[in-house]
Amino acid sequence: MVTRQELRGLVGQEVGTSRWFTMDQERIDQFAEVTEDHQYIHIDPARAKDTPFGTTIAHGFLTLSMLSAMVIDGGPKLEGVTMGVNYGFDRLRFISPVPSGARVRGVFVLKAVEDKSPTEIQTTYTVTVEIEGQAKPALVADWLGRRHFAEAT
């Protein structure tokens, strides 16, 4: 656990790395069902063999949606937080496709901490989602979040 003041001292530093998450075909298929994105490059292994990817790939938005699990798993734990919400992205790029069966993890660098009120801060993390065994990441983003606290500091 880190305090708000300790967090401010970590700006510019890597503050966490999540565990590896497997992006298997079952996860990809479930995401396709929920989002109604049934493009064959995601759900049809036979057709996907003939693409430049050679296999099915995870949806970019599936990879992006894993950030929540990744930050819970490997991001810094803030003392006194009562609620956290996504605030958006300043920059987001999908760099490399994630092949079905690949493992990904999030690496978090704290870019900024800004006071929004006595009980609220905004954090900006530069997050890189690495693909195990690949030189290029799946995505890189500047992710904004709001954290609410029960007490002012």
Summarize pLDDT for 9-27 with one digit per residue, the tens. 999 999 999 999 999 999 9
Give the whole-angstrom CA distance, residue 27 versus residue 35: 12
Average pLDDT, the chain: 97
> In sequence order, what are the beta bridge partners of 144?
88, 124
- Amino acid 152: pLDDT: 82
Please report, for the domain that includes residue 127, its CATH number: 3.10.129.10
In a domain, 50, yes or no: no
Structure tokens at 73: 């798993």
- Amino acid 151: pLDDT: 86
- Model confidence, pTM: 0.95
Give the whole-angstrom CA distance, residue 19 versus residue 24: 16
Count of domains observed in the chain:
1
- Domain range for 84 is 4-22+60-149
In a domain, 96, yes or no: yes
> Which amino acid, one-letter code, is at 8?
R
- Amino acid 53: pLDDT: 96
- Amino acid 13: pLDDT: 98
